[in-house]
A and B are shown apart, each in its own frame.
Chain A
Amino acid sequence: MATQRVPVIEKIMDANDQVASMNKKKLDESNIFAINLMASPGAGKTSLILRTIRTLSPDLRVGVIEGDTAPVTIDADKVLAEGMPAVQINTGGECHLDAVMISNALEQLPLDSIDLLIIENVGNLICPAAFQLGTHVNVLIASVPEGDDKPYKYTNIYRGLDVLIINKIDLLPYISFNMDYFRQGVELLNPGLITFPLSCTTGEGIAEWTAWVRSQVEKRKSQNA
């Protein structure tokens, strides 16, 4: 039996990327600025979200999507306790959020009364990098105790970033973390990347980060006014 070669040339992530652009369109229609927040487990994603809500409310209304591999609502409950709408996604063991999960979660959020959406991705430095969600920016939290060599080991996630946060800088005196070495690694992967060193514990650096977020939200509002 003769076989025949059929050309395809289709990106393997294309289906996800198409849903991601639908998500982005929906967010734009509701004038929402959306952040995909990625980090390894325990880097401080939920801590930063809570800090950001406390600093920006009541001026800005923040919605949160919490991704976890397990059926828990620990992180979502913390956001709800701040009086902000939150949806918990249980990925059922999957290592990342994808655009379809976000599309479903958007259905459950009051989009008309949100200015800023923060999506807490599953704690992981590898898989989330491959899945666009339809947010306006990809943000990574690197935390000091993880070590200064992470940009050299997890190159893919650093390459796709719009903003980098270096959290837990209050621990710098206690941990051997060479900031120059860390930043050189980042520079190779993503030259000129916007970076905010901060501490969710002491609050140092939070104002610079939230000012940037606020400016992004306002830029979007004035564009679409």
Chain B
Amino acid sequence: MHELAVTESILSIAKRHAEQAKARRVTDIYIVMGNLSSIIDDSVQFYWDIISDGSICSGATLHFQRIPAQAVCLDCDHQYSLQERLSPCPACGSAKIKIVNGEEFYLDSIEIER
């Protein structure tokens, strides 16, 4: 599980932006995460409560926005959504596909009190 490293990274990004914005406290953190990401948000939340303690982000709520996974067929351009597992193009059966959505993993914004 690499959620600890990921959580540390979220904390350091949030702290840096909070300080730049002269925040007194961070109340909310908005994270965008593609469905293909292997990160478990419950584990991030678990580490978050421990490592953010005592910092400007202490007590901030983590929000995860999930982006559905989508692929495009490289043979017929058909775009379709992917369920849990990767599947060939439903229109033409081709296995040559490219993932277009679902790999996102970024900190979108923070909500602060000054």
A residues lining the B interface (CB < 8 Å): 1-16, 94-96, 98, 126-127, 129-131, 152, 155-156, 159, 184-185, 187-189, 191
Contacts and interface: CB of A to CB of B under 8 A. Distances in A.
A9 B97 contact: no
Contact of A7 (B12, B39, B88, B109): B109
A129 B38 contact: yes
Contacts of A3: 27-28, 111-113
28 contacts: A1-B113, A3-B111, A3-B112, A5-B109, A6-B17, A6-B18, A7-B108, A8-B107, A9-B108, A11-B105, A12-B31, A12-B107, A13-B6, A15-B12, A15-B13, A94-B2, A130-B2, A130-B6, A152-B85, A155-B36, A155-B86, A156-B37, A159-B99, A185-B86, A187-B96, A188-B86, A188-B88, A191-B96
Contacts of A94: 2, 4-5
A11 B13 CA distance: 9
A145 B86 CA distance: 23
Contact of B95 (A14, A15, A191): A191
Interface centre among A2, A4, A8 (most CB of B within 10 A): A8
Interface residues of chain A: helix, strand, loop or mixed (majority): mixed
Interface of B: 1-2, 4-6, 9-10, 12-14, 17-18, 21, 23, 27-28, 31, 36-39, 74, 85-88, 95-97, 99, 105-114
B38 A130 contact: yes
Nearest to A130: B2
A7 to B, nearest CB: 5
B109 A8 contact: yes
Contact of A191 (B27, B74, B87, B106): B74
B95 A188 contact: yes
B36 A156 contact: yes
A96 to B, nearest CB: 6
A9 B30 CA distance: 10
Contact of A9 (B9, B21, B107): B107
Nearest to B104: A11
Nearest to B97: A188
Contacts of A187: 95-96
Contacts of B17: 6, 8, 10
B2 A127 contact: yes
B110 A6 contact: yes
Nearest to B1: A95
